Amino acid sequence: MGIPLLLAVILATAPPAPGKLSEPDAQQLQEAATEEVLANIKAGDLNAATQNVEELLKNSPENPAALNLLGSVQTKKKDYAAARATFEKILATDPSFFPARFNLGEILFLEKNYPAAREHFQAMRAADPKNELLQFKVVMCDIQAGDENSARRVLRGMRFPGDSPAWYYANAALENKLGNTAQARRLVRTAREIFGEKTELFDDSFETIGLKF
């Protein structure tokens, strides 16, 4: 699926657009359209994903969640300039929209601009220092930048076991970097046993840097 979908998956469903349909029917149609876009991306059919998200936007062209899906598709296509513009458009009207802010950081990460990505995620942490996803991303930036000591400092501040797989995956990333592949695999396996499908987001993040456990 790929890291750009992290926040699309979490917050993609757009509210119903006004129209002749009753509200429940409109909501169901929006949810079905969103699921179809996500299924397209998972299947790697980005042309279909683009067409479907454009149809979704016809009914709610300014909806931030629908636009976030568009930015996710653009990011998956590696059209980072278009994706950045889409996420910035969302933030121009809703500066607090977490998915768009997060995905701007993801673009920096995918461009391998790890210092800038770290700065971005760290700035987001200023408003939410205990956010486990942001802690994980800062650790990933440190590791990719070759600053294992900084990664350890962030790890020491992470809560164990936490409400998400973040602690396990952050430690697995560091162990792998240090050559302790077996320990990294054990951590990932434990996380999957505890958190189930919640690990998909973190597996996606690993895949963007070539890690598959």
pLDDT in tens, 164-174: 999 999 999 99
pLDDT for the residue numbered 52: 85
Q: Are residues 168 and 140 in the same domain?
A: yes
- If asked whether residues 138 and 167 sit together in one domain, one would say yes
CA-CA distance, 144 to 151, in Å (whole number)? 10
Distance CA 105, CA 84 (A): 10
Q: Could you give the angle at which helices 166-177 and 181-195 cross, rounded to 10 degrees?
A: 170
Q: For the domain that residue 184 is a member of, what is the CATH number?
A: 1.25.40
Average pLDDT over residues 87-105: 95
Whether residue 31 is contained in a domain is answered as yes
In this prediction, residue 7 has a pLDDT band, given cuts at 50, 70 and 90, of: very low
End-of-domain residue from the set 71, 97, 123:
97
> Do the Cβ atoms of 190 and 161 come closer than 8 Å?
no
How many folded domains does the chain comprise? 2
Quote the mean pLDDT of the chain.
86
Q: Kindly state the tokens that stand for 143.
A: 């590791």
pLDDT, one tens digit per residue, over 20-40 is 444 545 566 667 778 888 888
Contact 86, 70 (CB under 8 A): yes
How does 156-194 read in b/e, with b if 16+ C-beta sit within 10 Å? eebeeebebbbbbbbbbbbbbbeeeeeebeebbeebbee
Q: End of a domain among 33, 64, 97?
A: 97
Q: What is the pLDDT of residues 191-210, one digit of tens each?
A: 999 999 899 989 989 999 99
Q: Give first-to-last CA distance, the chain, whole Å.
A: 15
pTM: 0.83
Which of the residue ranges 29-38, 50-59, 173-182 has the most confident prediction, judged by mean pLDDT?
173-182
pLDDT at 27 (0 to 100):
66
Range of the domain at 173: 112-213
